[in-house]
Chain A
Amino acid sequence: MNRLVAFLAANVVPIMFLGISAAGIIMADLTLSSVSSDVSERVFRNLFLVLSLIIPIVAGLGLNFGIVLGAMAGQIGLILIQNGKIGGLEGLFVATAGSIPLAILFGYLTGLLFNRTRGREMITGIILGFFANGIYQFVFLILAGPVIPLHAEDVLLTKRNLDGTVSPLMGLRVTMNLTMIEAALDYPLEHFAPDGWIRKMSASMFGDRFAGSIPIRFGGVKWATIPILTLLTNVALCFGLTWFLRTKLGQDLRAVGQDSHVAEVSGIRVDRCRIIAIIMSMVLAAMGQIIFLQNMAVMNTYQSHEQVGFYAIAALLVGGATVSRASIWNAIFGTILFHLLIVVVSTAGSRLESPQIGEYLREFFAYAVIGVTLALHAWRSKRG
């Protein structure tokens, strides 16, 4: 009995979420299979971003709201391939390769800042995200074109001339259709030539209709679609994180996160460890944002990164993580639960009232989660 109470108390956030989701499904009479296939798609595109938050938590930096900067690095990589017209898996690879140095730079600078604002990393990260957004807009609204040599017509804003021709101006388009890398990780085969050897080989092995994802059918309806490469990427990251935390560097980060004073006295270079943690988080966030956007296939150039931090953090917290403790399982369960709730409230909301209500509920719940879990964490650590 006591153990049951303790279990419920320890998992109050996930349980609350399951409850609300179940209520939403029943009230709005949603079809389970469509909910589950929506959720699975969202989980596959978001999980990587959520996992990118784990290392800074382990290293005692709390929730890294600064991953917004990592997401920006990822988007800059995508802008580059969009401009250079590189598509498919190759495009994803180039975008990632281009974004990693930027993410390292952003991570290093953020790390320096966090070392000077120790104990207030989270609020610093939030404000830093807003500030970086301003710089990002300046760079891509004003400098892109005249200063930064971007030229592609579907990247830059354009002006229709009197003679009917179209000429590029300065500034990036507000939305970009990432058709060339659309679902390049989820459905990689679609980006290879239909008569190429890869397609032929896969057709002979898995059949004509296989494009890289496996639909899971059950009782005649589709419940989920498993994108093989995306799944493998996430699994690889999970194993990579587990492995990393048992290396010397991982152990140092854990020591710093637990008690930076003791770590310092034991000769661990605390400031350096904290910077490394932030850099790793930024690099993973950049990759996560690329994975996210290849699935969306549309990039809101000036907005896609804005909410990344909040949504990923909300998802992690829903999974039972706290400011000071997070595991891979927290990330996985959290992402599933959070997106279950989001799918349920937004579809239920739009079905009951209007699409705006659904949108409202989505935002409301995301912020409510962060607020409630932060309060719970403060309350628990006060009780000891």
Chain B
Amino acid sequence: MSDKTNYEAGFGSNALKDPQRVVFITPKTSAKVKGDVGKKVMSYPNLLLREAIALEVMVIALVILSLFWDAPLEQLANPLLTPNPAKAPWYFLGLQELLHYFPPVVAGILIPALVIMALVFIPYFNVNIKGEPFWAANRTRRFLIFLVITASLLLFLVIFEAWSVIAPTVAIAILAFVSYFARVGGPRPAEFLRTRPISWWVMTWFIAVAVTLTLVGTFFRGPGWSWVWPWR
């Protein structure tokens, strides 16, 4: 404070030559965190070489598959002869299986639209960006919410008798239930489940349901969409 000359020197400096700036560093955007990320290597040749290897491995695998696995070709299309069951391509059989349980507006329009909208919009809400475990805070309250939501969802599914949705839902719900009671530093699978965030649980449940529905629609559905065993 007593050194007056230094203080005045700051004022006297040329603003064009030595521009003065005030920098605000807010807690969430630390310049350092975004700066330090990993050692970098040249894309040419490191990345291009790997892409070329990926292409070759892929082409070899697909050529071998196509030598032995023939594309099906049935009779000429005939609008007067409906096969039973008439099935959509395999990636839509999950939807077709849903149509078996729910009205067309719900299974064919509402559910797919909601899934797409969730995929598009949820990233913009920055929910739990740090990926905190679901059971990390408000444990009892969250556990109650989890129980209520799971119970009402299962009740809804039971009313519609949607068994191929109920099975994977129950499986994931049991895992979530168990993970609530897992202790810190338990065995690895328990520790893994205990530290999962809510997004992991929702996505895993969605994948489990989608895969089950697709498998059931592809292999376990026969005439009149009745249950059949694929090995019979």
Bind each other: no
